[in-house]
Structures are given as structure tokens and as C-alpha cells.
Amino acid sequence: MILAFKPASFYTNSPQTVVYPGKSIPPAVFGQNLPTFAHVFNKKTNPQRQLLPACSGAEGCRSFFIPEMMNRIQRCLLLCSLFLMQQSALFSQMKGWEVGGWVGASNYFGDLNTNYRLDRLHLAGGLNTRYNFNDRLAVRLGANYGRISAYDSDSKNVYERRRNLSFRSDLVDVNMLLEFNFMPYMHGHRDYYFTPYVFAGPAIFFYQPRAELDGVWYNLAEMGTEGQFRGEEYSTTQGALAYGLGFKVDLSYRWSLGVELSARKVFTDYLDDVSGVYVDWRDIRSIRGQVAADLADRSVEPQIGQPGRQRGNGKNNDAYAFLGVSLHYYFGEIRCPSYNR
């Protein structure tokens, strides 16, 4: 190893003469462009570990490195390397699968619930699996079940109460979501064991709106209540945009608890079998029968079901939401990063 330096007297302007083996440099010479010396630690060529000249001349010595500057650069590089190693280790820790489920409530918003009432909550739940790419990003696959319903009789709107429509539907929801953690999240970490998060992704759901008449429940999609001809009924398999937010916290290295609110903006306005305008009940009766005509217009006296009159708002699609508490089990292990040796 070679350590290069200039004599201390060069920096302190000491009047003392600095003596090296075979050389005596008077103080008057200090302050000029002097040779830099090096201590060569080599037992064979320099058993006494004397100070020997490493370069000569002003130009040669200017091109030689300065130890203090190099020490600072080395310290800076060391700190950067440690930081990158730490980040790499953190990212590696969170690669792994989680499996869990949730239980909570479901609710509907649409033509039969225009003022966002929460008085018809139903039990809901689901299962999902999550793959963590790192401490920030994950992808999730899930399947959910819930029930939604609404009744015009619950509304404070006079027109809606006179309309007197209602429905109930069980639905199954399958989704694929991309999840982003606002804070670093690592299972078992002392500091990063909780985080709020958001998610979004596509979903497919299956539903079947039904209504009760004289104690019997009927599938509304088969009734053509808004004048659909046979074979033109709306599909009860639809797509949706799933999105929401949540908060999760570790209970242990393996188990985590979460609270989540998720919504579905569906690509149909027939969750509730209500979207357009009334049609002539005689036409419905001739095509579908008397039961279909009675389900199409259930308004109380005076009836409002004149042909062409508004029955629903087709400009805005319906929506439904889930609120639940989840429990997940983490299968991953702490994975240390690999380094080239």
C-alpha cells in the first residue's frame, strides 16, 4: 500500500527543518511546489519502512492523488453502497404470496338509491390471494359474494315513493387488482409493519335482479319490464372497474389484519332492472304476460306509468360497494440479496 502526503510543515509554515533519509530540506523551501513523499510498506525492499520519494517535480506531484480527498470519496461510496444494499434487502424481503379472506357488508347505489342510503346493508365476504413484488407493489386476485337490494319505499323523494319499485340480487364478483402501498410495508419488520394502500383493476360479476309479487320472487331480466323483446334481454354477466383503499397492519410475521373499502363502477344500468322509460303495459302483457306487466309498473294511485315517462336515469350507470375486515397469511420468506464475490 502507498500513502502519499506532504510534510506537515508545508501546511503549518513551521520554521523547523524537516529531515528525511539522505535529504535535509530548509524551511525556506516550504510553500513551493515540493516533491511529495510516500511511505512504502514493503519488508523486502524497505525493511526499515523509511520515507522514500514517490515522485519528483511539481508536475508529477500535482497528478498524484490527495489522501484526504480519497478518504472522503471512499466514505461516500461506502455509505451509498450500504444504502443500496439495505434497499435491495428490503425489496427482497417482500417477494412472496399471501392468502386470506374478508367479511363485511355490501351496498348498492343507483336508480333505486339516488341519495346514497346505507339502510340496506347485507352480509358479504370473499377470498383472495396477493403476490408482493416488493414493499410497495402487489397484484391481487379475488372472488367475492354479496347481496344488494333497494326499495323506493325507503326514499324521501315523493316521485320515487310513488314509483314503488324494488329489487334484490345476489352477486358474485371476480377481480384482478394492482395494489400500491403508500408506505414501505414488510412482514415482521420493526418499523414498516403497517401502511395505507390503494388499488384498482378490472372485475367481472354475475348477478340476477329479482322482485317479489304476491309472495313470489321473479327474475326481472326475463320479464322485459322496459319493453325488451325476447332474446334482447340485458346480460346478467357484466364488467366493472374495481377501485378502493384500505389499511393493513401486521399481527405477527405471518399474519396481517386489514380494513378495506372497495367500490365497483359497473358497465350497466340494469343492476336494479331500472334504466329508461315506461312502455305501454299492454305491449308487455302481450309479449311477456300479466305478471311482467304488473312488475313493470308498480306505482301507487294515481299511477305514473304512462308510456314514455321516465322510469329511471339511463345517463348514469349503477354501482355497488364492499366494506370489510380481512385476515391474510404470508407464505414468503426473508430473502437476502445475492452479491458478486
Domains of the chain, first to last: 96-330 (2.40.160.20)
- What pLDDT sits at residue 304? 87
pLDDT at 76 over 90: no
- What pLDDT sits at residue 141? 97
| Report field, pTM of the whole predicted structure over 0.85 | no
Mean pLDDT of 237-248: 97
Q: Which has the higher per-residue pLDDT, 210 or 337?
A: 210
- What pLDDT sits at residue 48? 53
- What pLDDT sits at residue 231? 87
pLDDT at 319 over 80: yes
Mean pLDDT of 280-291: 93
Q: Which has the higher per-residue pLDDT, 55 or 79?
A: 79
pLDDT at 105 over 80: yes
Structure confidence at residue 303 as a pLDDT band (50, 70, 90): confident
* 10 Cβ contact partners less than 8 Å away, ≥ 6 residues apart: 30, 31, 34
Spatial contact of 223 and 270, defined as CB atoms under 8 Å apart: no
Tens of pLDDT, residues 156-180: 999 999 999 999 999 999 999 999 9
In 3D space, the residue among 100, 104, 168 whose CA is nearest the CA of residue 132 turns out to be 100
Q: Average pLDDT of the chain?
A: 81
What are the cell numbers at 241?
372497474
pLDDT at 12 over 90: no
Residue with cell 530540506: 25
- What pLDDT sits at residue 189? 85
Mean pLDDT of 113-133: 95
Distance CA 46, CA 305 (A): 110
- What pLDDT sits at residue 123? 97
Distance CA 144, CA 101 (A): 9
Mean pLDDT of 124-150: 95
- What pLDDT sits at residue 300? 85
Mean pLDDT of 276-290: 93
Amino acid, res. 64: F
pLDDT at 257 over 80: yes
- What pLDDT sits at residue 22? 46
When mean pLDDT is compared over 26-35, 59-68, 81-90, 102-111, the highest value belongs to: 102-111
